[in-house]
């Protein structure tokens, strides 16, 4: 199932929050306006009642239903006004509850509120009668009670009208703001589209970095990580090309030699001695080629290996003893003694056990192969340091500088090899952040030092 884009999620979230804010604001405004309108209308009724209370009407009115006749106003005179002439009404009662005056319309329908007993402190009160909200006020002479009523629907209609108009305003603001949000987010994501097109059109071996111009600050770490990735990929591709070229070059010679020995064996069918010698050379060549291929495969795996998930605590002494036990038969053939000196006990490294075994094996194997018979190899375990030394002839200074290069073998070398053993040592050491150094001892012999 296709997931929604980040742009759509942002638009929906922001507009949703904006709509929710508008809705909450409208609801809060409803209660605030309702309270304010109530105060305004109550003040209006009270003001109207006070004006009526100032009139001296009790002496001229009899206890009967009298009313004030207002002058008739033509519709043309008020056609520009938007009003409800039945929204406000009044009536005046004496202390006995008899109506003595009303507005001649709705006011005559008022009935005296028997629970109205004004005190000196409270001369007014409000109650509701049906569809009316009525304010009762005792006149200044304490002889009449004025009732001014206002329709509840009138207040409610004004409140709804105000809230509706405010809601329309908020809706217009919401629509306009949403349009701007969509346009802004769309423009903000435009650099990502441009970036995607740049990445899609890149060549596999291109190592140029992506520029940061016009890129948002939040995306820059992502671009920096991509640039580092492109650099590593380019370096890996270059390395692989060089590796394939070197491997093809190195395999060409032994394969040609195998072909020659095979042809010699075929042509020597009538000479058993020559044929047997050719077959022996063929077997030696196959072994040498097999060793070369194994070394090439090991080196290739090391170049692309990630060991972070396979690390464990490894004791150097146990690892070295295990490798020495494996190589003891080869050392005994040349009467070579391997001595292990532990000057610092319990030395531990966090690493890959198989790779570190390969590192130690290659160093000891090289020493066994290149030093004379009846020699000695000494492995010294120190604090954060392992030293492999022998009492052989050592290495010339010009050769010493090139040790560890891939496929490098000194001229005149009689021992079979691929020139990859020390390259593998250096690669394993690099993966474990171990520093490898090659040197000659002052008293004679070759020494390899590992610092970790």
pLDDT tens, 13-65? 999 999 999 889 888 888 888 888 888 888 888 888 888 877 766 555 555 44
What does the DSSP 8-state code read for residue 6?
H
The answer on pLDDT for 130 being more than 50 is: yes
Which pLDDT score, from 0 to 100, does residue 329 have?
Answer: 84
Contact 67, 89 (CB under 8 A): no
In a 13 Å sphere around the CA of 213, the CA atoms on its Cβ side amount to: 1
Q: Alpha-carbon distance 91 to 49, whole Å?
A: 10
Backbone angles phi, psi at 77, to 5 degrees: -75, -20
- What are the DSSP calls for 416-440, one per residue? ---S-HHHHHHHHHHHTT-EEEEEE
Q: Give the mean pLDDT of 106-129.
A: 74
Choose among 385, 390, 358, 359: nearest CA to 374.
390
Q: pLDDT value at position 301? A: 64
- pLDDT classification of 253: cutoffs 50, 70, 90: low
Rounded Cα distance, 390 and 331, in Å: 13
Mean pLDDT along residues 438-449: 89
Structure tokens of 155?
């207040």
Biggest CA–CA distance in the chain, Å, is 162
Orientation angle between helical segments 152-188 and 6-53, nearest 10 degrees: 160
Residue 155: per-residue pLDDT? 80
CA distance 345 to 258: 49
- Please tell me the distance from the alpha carbon of residue 146 to that of residue 113, in angstroms, as a whole number: 11
Question: Which pair of tokens denotes residue 357?
Answer: 């075994």
Q: What percent of the chain has pLDDT over 90?
A: 15
Work out the number of other CB atoms within 10 angstroms of the CB of residue 314.
17
What is the rounded CA–CA span in Å between residue 405 and residue 424? 10
Residue pointed to by tokens 């770490």: 221
Give the Cα separation of 337 and 332 in Å (integer).
8
CA atoms within 13 A on the CB side of 332: 6
> What is the edge-to-edge ordering of all strands in the sheet holding 446-451?
337-342, 376-382, 385-390, 446-451, 435-440
The pLDDT value given to residue 375:
92
Total residue length of the chain: 452
pTM of the model: 0.46
Q: Is 130 helix (H, G, I), strand (E, B) or coil?
A: coil
CA–CA gap between residue 194 and residue 447 (Å, rounded): 56
Question: Who wins on pLDDT, 338 or 121?
Answer: 338
Q: Give all domains of the chain, ordered by start, each with its CATH number.
A: 6-71+84-174 (3.30.450), 220-303 (1.10.287.130), 309-451 (3.30.565.10)
Contact predicate 436/426, CB 8 Å: yes
Residue 124: the pLDDT is 80
The Cα–Cα gap between 289 and 418 comes to: 9
Percent of the chain residues topping a pLDDT of 70: 80
Do residues 143 and 136 lie in contact, with contact meaning Cβ atoms separated by under 8 Å? Answer: no
Whether pLDDT at 83 is above 90? no
β-bridge mates for residue 149, sequence order: 89, 134
User: What does the pLDDT average to over 294-321?
Assistant: 74
**Best CA proximity match to 26, nearest among 171, 177, 166:** 166
Q: Which letter, b or e, does each residue of 138-172 get, where b requires 16 or more Cβ atoms within 10 Å of its Cβ? A: bbeeeebbbbbbbbeebbeebbeebbeebbeebee
Is 306 a residue whose pLDDT tops 80?
no
Average of pLDDT values for 439-450? Answer: 89
Instruction: Taking residues 169-187, report their average pLDDT.
Output: 90
What pLDDT, on the 0 to 100 scale, is given for residue 180?
Answer: 92
Quote the pLDDT of residue 80: 47
Strongest mean pLDDT among 197-211, 238-252, 312-326: 312-326
DSSP 280-337: HHHHHHHHHHHHHHHHHHHHHHHHT---GGG-EEEEHHHHHHHHHHHHHHHHHHTT-E
């Amino acid at each position: 199932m296709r997931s929604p884009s980040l742009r759509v999620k942002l638009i929906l979230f922001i507009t949703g929050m904006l709509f929710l804010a508008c809705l909450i604001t409208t609801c809060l405004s409803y209660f605030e306006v309702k309270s304010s309108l109530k105060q305004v209308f109550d003040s209006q009724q009270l003001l109207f009642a006070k004006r009526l209370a100032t009139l001296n009407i009790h002496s001229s009115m009899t206890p009967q239903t009298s009313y004030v006749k207002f002058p008739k106003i033509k519709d043309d005179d008020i056609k520009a006004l938007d009003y409800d002439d039945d929204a406000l009404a009044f009536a005046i009662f004496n202390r006995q509850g008899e109506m003595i005056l009303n507005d001649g319309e709705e006011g005559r329908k008022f009935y005296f509120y028997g629970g109205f007993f004004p005190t000196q402190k409270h001369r007014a009160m409000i109650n509701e009668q049906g569809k009316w909200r009525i304010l009762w006020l005792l006149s200044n002479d304490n002889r009449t009670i004025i009732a001014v009523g206002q329709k509840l629907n009138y207040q409610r209609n004004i409140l709804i009208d105000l809230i509706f108009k405010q809601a329309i305003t908020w809706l217009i603001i919401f629509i306009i703001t949403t349009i701007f949000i969509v346009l802004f987010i769309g423009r903000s994501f435009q650099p990502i589209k441009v970036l995607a097109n740049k990445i899609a059109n890149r060549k596999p071996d291109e190592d140029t970095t992506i520029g940061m111009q016009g890129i948002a600050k939040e995306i820059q770490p992502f671009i920096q990580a991509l640039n580092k990735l492109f650099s590593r990929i380019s370096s890996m591709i270059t390395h692989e090309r060089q590796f394939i070229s070197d491997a093809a070059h190195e395999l060409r010679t032994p394969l040609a030699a195998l072909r020659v020995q095979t042809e010699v064996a075929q042509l020597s069918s009538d000479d058993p001695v020559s044929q047997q010698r050719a077959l022996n050379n063929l077997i030696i060549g196959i072994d040498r080629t097999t060793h070369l291929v194994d070394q090439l495969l090991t080196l290739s795996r090391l170049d692309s290996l990630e060991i972070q998930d396979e690390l464990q605590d490894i004791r150097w002494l146990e690892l070295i003893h295990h490798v020495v036990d494996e190589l003891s038969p080869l050392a005994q053939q040349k009467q070579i003694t391997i001595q292990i000196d532990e000057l610092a006990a319990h030395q531990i490294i966090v690493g890959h056990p198989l790779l570190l075994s390969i590192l130690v094996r290659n160093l000891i194997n090289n020493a066994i192969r290149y030093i004379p018979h009846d020699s000695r190899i000494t492995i010294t375990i120190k604090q954060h340091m392992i030293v492999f030394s022998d009492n052989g002839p050592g290495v010339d200074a010009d050769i010493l500088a090139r040790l560890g290069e891939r496929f490098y073998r000194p001229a005149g070398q009689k021992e079979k090899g691929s020139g990859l053993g020390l390259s593998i040592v250096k690669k394993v050491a690099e993966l474990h952040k171990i520093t490898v150094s090659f040197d000659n001892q002052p008293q004679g012999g070759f020494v390899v030092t590992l610092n970790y």
